[in-house]
Amino acid sequence: METAHLDRVLTGMMAEEVLAACDATAADELGGALAELQAGQANPALHFFRGLRHRNLNAMLTATQRGLQALQGGGGAGGGPGPLSEPAHSRRAPLTVQGFRANPKDAESHILFFDIEGLIVELLSEEYSAMSPASLEAAGLITSEYMKVAALTQSASPDATKRISGILAKMKEGAETMQTKLQAKAEQIKGHMDQKEQGSKGRRPKDIPLSDAPHTMEIAQILISLLHAWGLDPELDRVCESKLGLLRPMTGVCFGVVSRHGHMAVQLPTRHVAHLLPPAEPDTSGLPQELVMQDRLTKLFTSRLHWELSTTLTTNHLLSIVSLANTLMSMNHATFLPDHELARRMHRPSTHGTASWAEDSERQQAQQQHMKQGWALLATLHAVLLPDKVLARGAKSFKRPQVEMLARRWQHHCLEVREAAQALLLAELGR
């Protein structure tokens, strides 16, 4: 990094060892101890393959014993979980909304925690669940062997099919009856809780659960709308609003990050930025002066100040928006407009009217092509063109993406994040 010369290229286990050493060095610089490495708590597979490469039988036996102890739950020193143990927490929801009190006069404040990997998984799960087996096989997601096994597992007897359908109908009826009773009981309890909470004011606002229904597309819409660099490309902004269904923010938000150890840092507004506004153009919209000024401040924040906050925020935000744009570009009819979203979920080819069906199919293919082109333009703006456009806006302290953070995600286990990190890293090294 000091001379800008490529020293060497490592792959395989050597690359894993170098990345593990980088993680240990970063943890040590942050104040963490190297107790795990000193106690020999690295992945036993690394020691096993290292011993295999050097033909060291004792090292292979030791690594095998440590791996078996970790799998049996023995853990490491101090009784902690071993390196092969399952993670303590399951995958988080794509969005978690937590309430907090900002000050006594404004109790309705909330923090939104987004999980990019979880959001990508949910988007792809919804997309694949709506596809037919033939479409999945054409896309290379399943093989013909899977289709044969699925056909063999189906019952060929009509009596058995009727019997099974009757049992399922009874089970469904019983489940619906129980669900009605539970809903009535829940509404009764909710009424009592509302009566108790009417007199309590000034308390911490409640967290908002999002587990009642799938809000995956709405969560993606909120996140991309907040992270998009509005104002850098007016033509792309119009495409985002008219074709992709993004929502232009009315005011700037406070961004933050959560570290690996669970510590949160939020970038709060600490200065007035009205003096940074360019000269105002004559206003012909007829809106109040306060709204016009707020809109100008929001455009200044989204197009310039957003990218002058922190290198960590810039890297995470670019990774998020590029990976989500690539994910949505790979989906069919991926747009946030209500009518297109309804057509995407409820579309079923009709057998009546071959000519009209062909016209509808061509129209849908054209719309889908426009959507994919819009997501591609959005990804290109943030992956390649963003630094030049922000500097052209007069930014004096543009925070460039961190090359080290992008290099760590060069082989990320999530394919979409990996491709976004590789595109951003290559573009940054090119600059």
Task: Identify which has the larger pLDDT, 287 or 76.
Answer: 287
In a domain, 24, yes or no: yes
In a domain, 144, yes or no: no
* pLDDT given at position 293: 81
Lowest-confidence range among 20-29, 100-109, 244-253? 20-29
Q: Is the pLDDT of residue 204 over 70?
A: no
In a domain, 219, yes or no: yes
Residues with Cβ within 8 Å of 426's Cβ and at least 6 positions away in sequence, in order, are none
Mean pLDDT of the chain: 74
Q: Which of helix, strand or coil describes residue 31?
A: coil
* pLDDT given at position 357: 65
Task: Identify which has the larger pLDDT, 362 or 412.
Answer: 412
Q: What is the pLDDT of residues 131-183, one digit of tens each?
A: 777 776 676 666 665 555 555 545 455 565 565 566 556 666 666 666 676 66
Do 234 and 378 belong together in one domain?
A: yes
In a domain, 285, yes or no: yes
Q: Is the pLDDT of residue 66 over 90?
A: no
Do 268 and 408 belong together in one domain?
A: yes
Last residue of a domain, one of 33, 63, 79: 79
* pLDDT given at position 22: 72
Terminus-to-terminus CA distance in the chain, angstroms?
Answer: 14
In a domain, 380, yes or no: yes
Q: Is the pLDDT of residue 51 over 50?
A: yes
In a domain, 191, yes or no: no
Q: Is the pLDDT of residue 225 over 50?
A: yes
* pLDDT given at position 81: 47
Please state, in angstroms and as integers, the Cα–Cα distance from residue 292 to each residue in 227, 237, 248, 254, 273, following that order.
22, 18, 14, 21, 15
User: Whole-structure pTM over 0.85, yes or no?
Assistant: no
Q: Element (H or E) spanning 216, and its range?
A: helix 216-227
Structural domain total, the chain: 2
* pLDDT given at position 393: 84
Query: Which residue intervals of 274-397 are DSSP H helices?
Result: 289-303, 311-329, 338-346, 354-380, 386-392
* pLDDT given at position 77: 45
The predicted model gives 14-34 an average pLDDT of 64
Last residue of a domain, one of 36, 60, 79: 79
In a domain, 226, yes or no: yes
Q: Is the pLDDT of residue 32 over 50?
A: no
Sign of the alpha-carbon dihedral angle for 13, 14, 15, 20 = positive
Last residue of a domain, one of 79, 97, 112: 79
Task: Identify which has the larger pLDDT, 144 or 295.
Answer: 295
Task: Identify which has the larger pLDDT, 166 or 328.
Answer: 328
In a domain, 344, yes or no: yes
Range of the domain at 53: 12-79
- Locate 372 and state its tokens: 């994919």
Task: Identify which has the larger pLDDT, 395 or 164.
Answer: 395
